[in-house]
C-alpha cells in the first residue's frame, strides 16, 4: 500500500534531515565491516608485495604476506577474503592442470590464511583463466570455449580448494551446469559444509581490465568472452540464471560488475530474497582511485557512497578492493 503524504507545509521532509542525530534515526541502510569481502591477489615468492600498476593501492602478495593480510583483515573486522592467483607463465597450459594442483599458490594461500586466522572465512575463485595459456575461463577447442569438458575441470578445481580448507567456492566461469556438478561433487566427497557463492550474473564487461592485469591474463587472452559471459543489454536473463543456480545448489548469488548493474542487484533481491552479493570490480575501483589521485573527487567520500549504493540496491555484502580502507573509516 502506497503511504499517504500530507501536502506542504504539513509535510516538510527536510525536518528529518536537520541534524546528524535525526538523520541517523531515519536512515534506511547501513554499511558495516561485516558486509565486506576483501579480494586479494597471491603470487609466488616470499616477502613479496608487488603493486598492480592499474589498481593503485592493490598488491600481489606472496603467501606469507597473504597471511599477514588476513591478520590485518581480522583486526579491522573484515570477515572474509577472496583469493585470486597470479600464476607464473610456465604454469599456464592448454590442459590447465595447475588449477587443481593441491599445492598451487591459491591452495597454499587458503591454508596459510586458515593457519594464521582460523576463523577467517576464505572464498576462492573457480575458473580456468589464471591457469589457461589462452586466458579464457574454459577450455578452448578450435576457437570455441567448450562447456562440458570445462565443467569437469572446474569440479576438480572445486574439490582441491575444498580440501585445502575453503569455506566458500566462487564459480566465476559462467559455464552451464557447473553449480549442480560442483554441489554433487562436494556432497559426495564429504564437503557438505562448503558453500557456493555463484557468480550468477557475470556480464561481458569492459570494467575487468585492471583485474586481468593483476592475474596476468590480459596478454594471454585471445578473442573475447562474449559467448559465455552475459550481454550487458540483458536483464531478464539474469533472473533465469539466478533461478537455475539456486535450483542446482547455490547458497548465495552474485552480480558482477557492481555499480553499473545495481538494477540487476535489486531485481534479484526482490524476486528471490536470497543472499545477494555484488563485486565492485577492478575498473570501478581504478576509476575512483584515479579521479581521487587527480584531485577531481573526494576519494574517501566517493568510496563510502559507492559502497552504500550496494546496500541500498539490496545487496547483503560486497566484494571490494576498498575493504581495508572502508573498514578503517567504519571503525573510526
- 244-277 pLDDT, tens digit per residue, is 999 999 999 999 999 999 999 999 999 999 999 9
193 carries an active-site annotation: no
**What confidence category does residue 211 fall into, taking pLDDT thresholds of 50, 70 and 90?**
confident
Work out the pLDDT band at 220, boundaries 50, 70, 90: low
Looking at 65, 256, 269, 311, which residue is catalytic?
256
Q: How far is CA 306 from CA 2, 93, 153, 238, 291, in A?
A: 28, 38, 36, 22, 14
Q: In the annotation, is 225 catalytic?
A: no
One of 65, 202, 225, 269 is an active-site residue; which one? Answer: 202
Report the percentage of the chain scoring pLDDT > 90.
90
Is the separation of the CB atoms in 161 and 191 below 8 Å?
Answer: no
Residue 107 pLDDT: 98
Which pLDDT value is given to residue 66?
98
Q: What is the pLDDT of residue 217?
A: 61
pLDDT at 282 over 80: yes
Which pTM does this prediction carry? 0.95
Q: What's the chain's average pLDDT?
A: 95
Cell of 152: 569437469
Burial of 272 (0-12, 13-18, 19+ CB in 10 A): middle
- The residue ranking higher by pLDDT, 214 or 31, is 31
| Mean pLDDT within 158-186 | 98
| Sequence-ordered list of residues with C-beta below 8 angstroms from that of 102, at least 6 positions apart, any chain | 160, 163, 164
Residue 56 has pLDDT above 70, yes or no: yes
Mean pLDDT of 156-178: 98
Q: Are 245 and 172 in contact (CB under 8 A)?
A: no
Where in the chain are the domains? 31-253
Q: How confident is the model at residue 3 (pLDDT cuts 50, 70, 90)?
A: confident
- Under CATH, which number does the domain 31-253 receive? 3.20.20.70
d(CA 168, CA 282): 21
pLDDT digits (tens, 9 = 90+) for 19-39: 999 999 999 999 999 999 999
Residue 258 near residue 284 (C-beta atoms within 8 A):
yes
Distance CA 61, CA 221 (A): 23
Helix (H) / strand (E) containing 71: helix 63-76
pLDDT tens sequence across 173-209: 999 999 999 999 999 999 999 999 999 999 999 999 8
Amino acid at each position: 500500500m502506497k503511504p499517504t503524504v500530507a501536502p506542504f507545509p504539513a509535510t516538510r521532509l527536510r525536518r528529518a534531515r536537520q541534524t546528524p542525530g535525526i538523520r541517523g534515526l531515519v536512515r534506511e541502510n547501513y554499511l558495516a565491516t561485516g558486509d565486506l569481502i576483501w579480494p586479494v591477489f597471491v603470487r609466488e615468492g616470499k616477502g613479496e608485495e608487488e603493486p598492480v600498476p592499474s589498481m593503485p593501492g592493490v598488491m600481489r602478495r606472496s603467501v606469507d604476506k597473504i597471511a599477514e593480510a588476513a591478520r590485518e583483515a581480522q583486526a579491522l573486522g573484515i570477515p572474509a577474503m577472496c583469493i585470486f592467483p597470479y600464476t607464473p607463465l610456465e604454469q599456464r597450459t592448454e590442459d590447465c592442470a595447475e588449477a587443481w594442483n593441491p599445492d598451487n599458490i591459491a591452495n597454499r594461500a587458503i591454508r596459510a590464511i586458515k593457519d594464521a586466522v582460523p576463523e577467517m572465512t576464505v572464498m576462492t575463485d573457480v575458473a580456468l583463466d589464471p591457469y589457461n595459456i589462452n586466458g579464457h575461463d574454459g577450455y578452448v577447442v578450435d576457437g570455441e570455449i567448450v562447456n562440458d569438458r570445462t565443467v569437469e575441470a572446474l569440479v576438480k578445481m572445486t574439490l582441491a580448494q575444498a580440501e585445502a580448507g575453503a569455506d566458500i567456492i566462487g564459480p566465476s566461469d559462467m559455464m552451464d551446469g557447473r553449480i549442480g556438478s560442483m554441489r554433487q561433487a562436494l556432497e559426495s566427497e564429504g564437503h557438505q559444509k562448503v558453500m557456493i557463492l555463484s557468480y550468477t550474473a557475470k556480464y561481458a564487461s569492459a570494467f575487468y581490465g585492471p583485474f586481468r592485469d593483476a592475474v596476468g591474463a590480459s596478454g594471454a587472452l585471445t578473442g573475447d568472452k562474449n559467448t559465455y559471459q552475459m550481454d550487458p543489454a540483458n536483464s531478464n536473463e539474469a533472473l533465469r540464471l539466478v533461478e537455475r543456480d539456486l535450483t542446482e545448489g547455490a547458497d548465495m548469488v552474485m552480480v558482477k560488475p557492481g555499480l553499473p548493474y545495481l538494477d540487476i542487484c535489486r531485481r534479484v533481491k526482490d524476486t528471490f530474497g536470497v543472499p545477494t552479493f555484488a563485486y565492485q570490480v577492478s575498473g570501478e575501483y581504478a576509476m575512483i582511485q584515479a579521479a581521487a589521485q587527480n584531485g577531481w573527487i573526494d576519494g574517501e567520500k566517493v568510496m563510502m557512497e559507492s559502497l552504500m549504493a550496494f546496500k541500498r540496491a539490496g545487496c547483503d555484502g560486497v566484494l571490494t578492493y576498498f575493504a581495508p580502507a572502508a573498514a578503517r573509516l567504519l571503525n573510526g
